[in-house]
Structure 1
């Protein structure tokens, strides 16, 4: 490839990466919450911010307020299929998913640091970063 083509591709990669960085950070963090299962806690229920982030991650919309649930009688016996997905502890794939979320979050922050540290591309990068924050938030509240 020609040098000008590589330079153009590098600039496009730079701007697209900076634009998408806020979403990558959000989904890496909310994915971490999903893997840890914080949104599924029942006693005590999850914090409102956890439920909100989980709702955005899973359904790409703000969660709707739930009506209060009526009190339930305690279950005395569990059916055979109740624990198909809950093995307790950290399964090897769960550990890997946690490492992926942490790695994705960390490398995205490093990428943003590098992108914003490039002096001649800083202003367009800041514009791309601002748009990367404003566009998804606007789409979420519309």
Structure 2
């Protein structure tokens, strides 16, 4: 491959990576929350920000307000009906791998951003791409 082609590919990789970095950071963090099952806690219920992040991760929208719930069934009866058959307690090998993947993606994205913003001759374009990578998804979320 020609040197000019490789240089062009590196620049495109740089801009696309910086533009998508905020999404990588968000989805790796929200994926960590999903793997840990924080969004499904019942007693106490999850914090509002956890529910919001989980909803954006799973449904690509902010959570809608829930109507008041009717009287609840006892926990044993609810589990017996199969309504809540997810086990969020144990750390299976795949859950550990998923957690490490989320942490690794988050960390390597931060390192990539540090490198991208540390490159003086591309810093201005990187800041523009980073700003767009933050603003565009926020606009798409609220539209």
Asked if TM exceeds 0.5, the reply is yes
Per the alignment, residue 94 of structure 1 pairs with 95
Q: Give CA-to-partner distance per residue, 1:7-46, whole Å, 9 cap, x none.
A: 0000000000000000000000000000000000000000
TM-score after normalising by structure 2: 0.93
Provide Cα deviations, 1:35-63, integer angstroms capped at 9, x if missing partner: 00000000000000000000000000111
The CA RMSD measured in Å over matched residues stands at 1.6
Alpha carbons of 1:51 and 1:83: their partners in 2 closer, same or farther (altered >3 Å)? Answer: closer
1:81 positional shift: 5.3
What TM-score do you get using the length of structure 1 for normalisation? Answer: 0.94
Counterpart in the other structure of 2:22 = 22
CA distance in 2, matches of 1:84, 1:76: 12
Counterparts in 2 of 1:23-102, with a 5 A limit? 23-77=23-77, 78-79=79-80, 85-86=86-87, 88-102=89-103
Aligned to 1:117: 118
Distance in 1 of aligned mates of 2:3 and 2:10: 10
Q: Does residue 1:141 correspond to 2:142, yes or no?
A: yes
Quickly say closer, same or farther: Cα 1:119–1:44, change in 2 above 3 A.
same
Distance 1:133 1:95, change over 3 A: same
Alignment partners' CA distance in 1, 2:84 and 2:40: 14
* Structure 2 residue ranges without an equivalent (≥5): none
In the TM superposition, residue 80 of structure 1 has moved relative to its aligned partner by 8.2
SS at match of 2:104: helix
> Higher mean Cα deviation, 69-78 or 41-50?
69-78
